[in-house]
Amino acid sequence: MVEVNYTLRGLNIPAGNHKVVFSFEPEVVKTGSTISLISSIVALLIVAAGIFFATRNKNKEKVQNIK
């Protein structure tokens, strides 16, 4: 590594074809993304269950009113 400044990185590379990849993939970001995805799925399931039971109860009330 070559010292450039506080925000940039530098690298001495000899002539030729190269692929240089600087990656920053902390484990905490992956964990947070997984927790966020699971939370979103659970929230959607709760909303879907609420809609299902609300419509089901309305249908039961309609059938009881008809009798």
User: Which structural domain range is residue 66 located in?
Assistant: 27-67
pLDDT recorded at residue 63: 63
Domain total of the chain: 1
Q: Which residue has the tokens 């009881």?
A: 64
Q: What is the rounded CA–CA span in Å between residue 29 and residue 27?
A: 5
**Domain-located, residue 4:** no
Nearest to 24 by CA among 7, 48, 40, 49: 7
* 46 part of a folded domain: yes
Residue 3 counted as domain residue: no
Q: Hey, which residues does 10 pair with through a beta bridge? A: 2
Confidence (pLDDT) at 51: 93
Q: Does residue 37 sit within a domain?
A: yes
What pLDDT is recorded for position 56?
86
* Residue 40 forms part of a structural domain: yes
Does residue 21 belong to any structural domain of this protein?
A: no
36 within a domain of the structure (yes/no): yes
What is d(CA 24, CA 7) in angstroms, rounded to the nearest whole number? 13
Q: How many CA atoms lie within 13 A of 17 on its CB side?
A: 0
Confirm whether 32 is domain-assigned.
Answer: yes
Tell me the mean pLDDT per 10 residues along the chain, length 67: 71 87 89 97 97 83 64
